Amino acid sequence: MGTRHTRAYTDLREQLRDWWARTNAPCWLCGQPIDYDAPAHDPAALDLDHAKPIETHPHLALDSSNCRPSHCRCNRSRGSRAPRPEMGMVTEDW
């Protein structure tokens, strides 16, 4: 527990934020540009996401190759799980 609040994690996040802002990295979930000047909890602001969720891959929390830039809103709607299968999407019988 608490991986997100360690000093190492904060440092890594700052480094990546710096790098992504400089290279103007887009959101890896929706492909749209991220507003790197937006306030921290703005839906369009940067949120550090993990390609493999920390919950299932805690050892990758501090692995920069597992980190991806995402929008606050995209990361939040994705949650910590992999995208769940959309049960209602298959509508063949109508």
Q: How is residue 47 annotated by DSSP?
A: E
- When the beta carbons of 28 and 62 are compared against Zn ion, the nearer one is 28
Q: Minimum Å distance from CB 42 to Zn ion?
A: 12
- The CA distance from 16 to 75, in Å, is 16
Q: Minimum Å distance from CB 80 to Zn ion?
A: 16
Structure-block tokens of residue 30: 């929706």
Task: State which residue has the least CB distance to Zn ion.
Answer: 27
- When the beta carbons of 67 and 74 are compared against Zn ion, the nearer one is 74
Q: Which residue has the tokens 């929008």?
A: 71
